[in-house]
Amino acid sequence: MEDRFDAALALLPGYLGQHVLVSASALLLGLAVSLPLAVGASRSAALRWPVLALASLVQTIPSLALLALFYPLLLALSAASRAMFGHGFAALGFLPSLLALTLYSMLPILRNGVAGLSAVDPAAVEAARGVGMTDRQRLFWVELPLAAPVIMAGVRTAAVWTIGAATLATPVGQTSLGNYIFAGLQTENWVFVLFGCVASAVLAMAADQLLGLIESGLSARRRWRIWAGLAGLAIGLAACLAPLAGAGGGANRYVVGAKNFSEQYILAELLADRIRKTGAAVDMKEDLGSNIAYQALKAGEIDAYVDYSGTLWANVLGRRDNPGRQAVLATLTEALARRDGVRVVGAIGFENAYALAMPRAKAAALHIASLADLAAHASELTFGADLEFLSRPEWTAVRRAYGLAFRREVQYQPTFMYRAAASGQADVISAFSSDGRIAADDLVVLADPRHALPPYDSVLLVSPRRAHDARLIGALSPLIAKIPVEAMRAANLSVDRDRDKATPAAAARALEGRLGL
């Protein structure tokens, strides 16, 4: 508990700095776009309706989806710019987060801007015209100052929304306080989840209070309050961003990627450790969506990560056949290098395949050792699957190959899937073969004699940019064929279990010790 808290605290400067950077930039950009729009909309009824309707529409898109949608959009734009101007830009991380959060921050500023400007006393507006102000002077000298308290209230709302929504920038590769929450959810590290929530809430409240001070200064026309609020914001910004200043780019920084589950966090820590031993600095981009990780590698936004041969086979090469473990690896190595310039350094040893598993006692009682044996009993059994397995091609392939027809099929979040197997609510479950809980819960993995499930060798990938980087390849090569599935299961279990949880970094260190790396 305490070491988990310490681990969370150690990550705070980086996460907080990135969180503040992306939310403050989005808020400033949102303000710069919304204010002129609000002025236009308050002047012209024809503009008001579409502007407010569009901003409201944006607000109805779930913020996570909005962030996710910017990624393919920017990817396409980047490809177009590469085709036209010879260079693209990073479609992952800061840019999609900035744009999505900017859109998200606009509605409260627009609404309050239009409301505040429309509510300015008509007598003051007429007096402004009467003394001979131009439209511009009337806006800046009279209307905006009088509407400022209302506009500022909108900015406050926008700030709170943006800081909250910025936690969702993690899956598109932007480090934020959401890293605690996403990693914590996956590894059931509730200390992390709570830490992330509290940190983002405290940040939102602090920003809200300081903006509130400015707002009250504007409405009471107390100049010192405005200055105090601005000074507080400036000091807070500087303090939060300071840790980022030293961490700029540089050719000697490597970025290690990870998808969003425990094994990936542990492997990323392992890769990072190996690279750091060469004296290079390492950044982590964790919680990437399954397909986003490969796209990010291809685009050079991450330099290395571990993926699984079957996933690349189906998702990147679009293949549905199964020519066997070695053939898949060989084809991938050749095809990824040719197509994308991605280097497959090699398989690191264990497989993390989809597998069907059942409690050892039940399997023994029914004499089930393989999927072929299972088919005979399936009509009496309940199948518990994770949330995506039933819609994946692997399931179709297994069902066809063995003629499986269960009495019932139920979907669970992975943790609860294992609980269901333990309590007897599910007789058979879809498991990952490297999952530590297979051994811990005394499950047996059923054999697949017809090779219906494709191989899922864990393979080390390096970005095109770093494909011939001797330092990186040298640091990572010792991992090839090094990690047996038992070692990976034990490491995964140490992170996933309920008690004595280890952090992914600690699990990686233990794994290194065990393998003598």
Partner 1 sequence: MAEPVIELRDVSKRYGARAAVESLSIALERGSFTALLGGSGSGKTTALKLINGLIAPDAGEVMIEGRPAGEGPGYALRRRIGYVFQEVGLFPHMTVAENIAIGPRLAGWDARRTGERVAELLALVDLPPDAGPRRPSELSGGQRQRVGVARALAAGPAIMLMDEPFGALDPVTRDALGRDYRALHERLGLTTLMVTHDVWEALLLADRIVVMDAGAILADAPPAALLAGHPDARVQALMETPRRQAERVRAMAERP
Q: Which residues bind partner 1 (CB under 8 A)?
A: 121, 123-124, 126-134, 137, 141-142, 145-146, 221
Separation of alpha carbons 405 and 391, rounded Å: 15
The HSE-up count of residue 225 (CA atoms within 13 Å, CB side) is 15
Angle (CA) 93 96 101, round 5° = 110
Question: At 286, is the secondary structure helix, strand, or coil?
Answer: strand
Distance in Å, CB of 121 to partner 1, minimum: 7
Distance in Å, CB of 141 to partner 1, minimum: 8
Question: At 453, is the secondary structure helix, strand, or coil?
Answer: coil
Separation of alpha carbons 286 and 165, rounded Å: 18
Distance in Å, CB of 138 to partner 1, minimum: 9
Distance in Å, CB of 149 to partner 1, minimum: 10
Residue placing its CB nearer to partner 1 in the complex, 123 or 245: 123
Strand (E) or helix (H) holding 158? helix 144-165
Residue placing its CB nearer to partner 1 in the complex, 106 or 117: 117
Residue placing its CB nearer to partner 1 in the complex, 48 or 138: 138
Rounded to the nearest 5 percent, the helix, strand and coil shares of the chain are 65, 10, 20
Distance in Å, CB of 226 to partner 1, minimum: 13
Q: What residues contact residue 281 under an 8 Å CB cut-off, 6+ apart?
A: 247, 250, 252, 253, 254
Distance in Å, CB of 10 to partner 1, minimum: 48
Residue placing its CB nearer to partner 1 in the complex, 32 or 127: 127
Residue placing its CB nearer to partner 1 in the complex, 215 or 269: 215
Distance in Å, CB of 124 to partner 1, minimum: 6
Separation of alpha carbons 345 and 473, rounded Å: 8
Length reported for the chain: 517
Q: Which own/partner contact pairs does 364-368 have at CB distance under 8 Å and 24+ positions apart? A: 368/446
Residue placing its CB nearer to partner 1 in the complex, 214 or 347: 214
**Helix residue ranges, H only, 246-324:** 262-276, 290-298, 309-315
Angle (CA) 311 313 316, round 5° = 85
Separation of alpha carbons 463 and 32, rounded Å: 37
The HSE-up count of residue 456 (CA atoms within 13 Å, CB side) is 17
Residue placing its CB nearer to partner 1 in the complex, 142 or 404: 142
Residue placing its CB nearer to partner 1 in the complex, 141 or 416: 141
- Across the strands, what pairs with 428? 383
DSSP 483: B
Residue placing its CB nearer to partner 1 in the complex, 222 or 468: 222
Distance in Å, CB of 126 to partner 1, minimum: 6
Distance in Å, CB of 112 to partner 1, minimum: 18
